[in-house]
Structure formats: structure tokens, C-alpha cells
Amino acid sequence: MNKPWQDKLRQIEPYVPGEQPKVADIVKLNANENPYPPSPRVMEILHKFDAARLRKYPDANAGCLRTALAKYFGLEGSQIFMGNGSDDVLALCFQAFFCSEKPIFFPDLTYSFYPVWCSLFRVPYETIPLDENYRIHPSDYVRENGGVVLPNPNAPTGIGEGLDFIRQMLDANPDAVVIIDEAYIDFGGISAVPLLKEYENLVIVQTMSKSRSLAGLRVGYALASPALIATLEAVKNSYNSYTMDMVTLEAAAAAVEDDTYFQQTCSKIIETRTRTTETLRKLGFTVLDSQANFVLASHPVMAAKAIFEALKAQGVFVRYFSLPRVDNHLRITIGTDAEMDKLFAALQKIL
Ligand SMILES: *Cc1c(COP(=O)(O)O)cnc(C)c1O
């Protein structure tokens, strides 16, 4: 029996992130983290940082990071919004842009945080099934809705779509905000940034957690028209003016400025992804062609859950989702070549 005060509490089913095991010597391929350290320039900022500066509030306008991102993307500062990881930015986008009574649309197989925000913020939604090849069709998104959100490349499939696809999605939805979550775009996807010039209702969300090796720092940002960015700023400033701390702003700006290092680590991951896809296929797996820093694989004989458990017993952590349509698949993050070799060796033993 609930006590009366318990009936007044929020009932909610939260998002469950990938495990962060505390043991050393494991191969961690379960959270799409980058296996390489962040840019040496980030280390330099952290080493030199004078802790005495922390007695003051950070720049609520995120000036240094705004300038670095504006330069990188060739956008105005008024087209950029920054937050405490892209989960923070997306949560603010849901509150700022999805305020209609009509349901928002997203794919049935996608980032599993979207339905959680819908329930937290009481946004009605409808999921639209991917086709049998795990593809999204803009023609399925033509009906009236309260907004659209989807990752490109999609997660957990890793399948990326081109600019024509994004354009079709935007042309089908001129009366609502369309959010493209580009968490994995730097691993060979095609960014919708050039379309910002044409579509005032387009929001692109990116993160520094994956391609810039800064998951622990928590930095994400949205790129959109000044009207949408101003709405996001207003919502954020009605909630918490200082979502980003001083250290993070400076370290993140340094990461954006080091393009050479960024290009090198992204290329390396793409190279290892090609090798991983080929090797898994040789081991008998069916592997979707990925444009992200992970692959989605299934085995025709051994159940994904059993492989997941057996890998874990050998210290190799991958991601298993007990969700319809993917519950016989494993999502495997691309690590270093040495880490992937350990995965292949473990799989050879198991299968
Ligand atoms: C990882 C991920 C995010 C969130 O990343 P942050 O670490 O919060 O920046 C958002 N969307 C998708 C699809 C992701 O995979």
C-alpha cells in the first residue's frame, strides 16, 4: 500500500545508460565512447587552469565555445546553443519545440531516450516503424504532427542518410520543428548543416562525447535559426542559467580548434570499423553497414543475449537491448585495433 504522499510522487521509467564497470582490464565496447584520448590541447587547458577562478560564475553566454563553434561551422553565434551534453540540449529542445497537442514522430527503433523525455515532459508521440532493412522513409512522416526527431546516422542501426533524405523530411514538415540528432555524424555521415540556410525549422544537435572523446566533460550543442536558438535560450534561462562550467567551456573550445587531431582520430575509427565489419562477417555475423562508431550485428545460430553474457564473462562489454526487433542483436562500439582483436578472439572461443 502506498502512503498518501507517495501518490504525489512522479512515476517514471528512466533511460538506462550502458554499464560503467569498475574493474580494470576490461574491453569496454558498450557505450560508444571514443577509444582515443581527447586532443592534447584539452590536456593543456586542464593542466594550466587556475582553480582560484572558480569562485566566479562562468560566462552564461558560453562566449569562447560559441566563437570556436561559429568559426568551425561558418555560422553566426546567434545560431548556436550549448549545453551540458547533448542529452541536456535535446531535453531542452523537447521542452522548447514540442509544445503542441499533436504527437511528435520518431522511428520505432532509435535513441531510447526520446520516449523517456516525452513521458517526463508529457509530450504525446507516435513511433513510425523502420522498414525490413532498418531504413527510415520520409514519406511515412508526411501526416500532421507536433514535430519530428531522428538521429542521422540512426542508432542503434548505424545507418546514415544523405541530404536528399533530410530535405524530403523537411519539405514534408514545414509546419513543425524537425530535429536531426547528429551524435555520430563525424564518422562518415553527411551533415545537414548546409540546409540551415534554407530551413528555419531545422535543428541539428551534435555532441562532443563521441567524435571528440569528451563524454566525461559533458558538452553538446544545437545549430539552428536565430529564432529557434532564442527560444532554447529562453527555456534554459527559465531553468538554469549556468548549465556549462568554466573549465568545460575552455576545454571544449580547445578541442574544436584542434581540427588535425580530430580528423586523425575519426579516420582511424572509420578504418577500424571497416576491419571490424569484415571480421565479424567472416565469423558468421550479419552486420549492418554503419556510418557511426559502432556496428549492429546478429548471429544466425547463437542468440545475442548468450553471446553478450559469454563476452562479459571474458571481460568484453558490448551492448544488448531487450527491445522488440533488436533483441537478437549486439551493438558493438569501435575501439582501438587491439581492443577489437580481443573481441574477435573472445568470439572465436564462444562460437
Ligand atoms: C550518445 C548520444 C546522445 C547523447 O550524448 P551526450 O553524451 O549526452 O552528449 C544523444 N543522441 C544519441 C543518438 C546518442 O547516441
* pLDDT band at 20; cut points 50, 70, 90: confident
- Calculate the average pLDDT of the chain: 96
pLDDT tens, 184-224?
999 999 999 999 999 999 999 999 999 999 999 999 999 99
- Ligand 1 atom showing the smallest separation from residue 210 Cα: 1
Q: What is the pLDDT of residues 48-66, one digit of tens each?
A: 999 999 999 999 899 999 9
pLDDT tier at 2, thresholds 50, 70, 90: confident
Q: What is the mean pLDDT of residues 329-347?
A: 98
Report, in angstroms and rounded to the nearest whole number, the Rg of the chain calculated over CA atoms: 21
Q: Tell me how far the alpha carbon of residue 348 lies from the centroid of ligand 1, in angstroms.
A: 31
At 293 the pLDDT is 98
The band of 113, judged by pLDDT with boundaries at 50, 70 and 90, is very high
CA-220 nearest atom, ligand 1: 9
Q: How far is the CA of 86 from the centre of ligand 1 (A)?
A: 6
Nearest-angstrom CA–CA distance, 120 and 260? 40
Segment 165-170 shows an average pLDDT of 98
Residue 300 preceded by cis peptide, ω within 30 = no
Q: What is the pLDDT of residue 201?
A: 98
pLDDT given at position 16: 84
Given ligand 1 and candidates 20, 84, 86, which is best to mutate, with the most ligand atoms within 8 Å of its CB?
86
Grid coordinates representing 168 are 524530403
pLDDT for the residue numbered 22? 77
Ligand 1 touching residue 188 (CB < 6 A): no
- 339 contacts: CB under 8 Å, gap ≥ 6: 27, 29, 35
Q: How confident is the model at residue 84 (pLDDT cuts 50, 70, 90)?
A: very high
pLDDT (0 to 100) of residue 31: 96
pLDDT band at 1 (very low <50, low <70, confident <90, very high): confident
Residue type, 226: P
Q: Residue 18 pLDDT > 80, yes or no?
A: no
Residue 209 Cβ contacting ligand 1 at under 6 Å: yes
Q: What DSSP letter does each residue of 109-146 carry, written as one string?
A: SS-TTHHHHHHHHT--EEEE---TTS---GGGG-S--S
For ligand 1, atom 5, name the residue with the nearest CA: 86
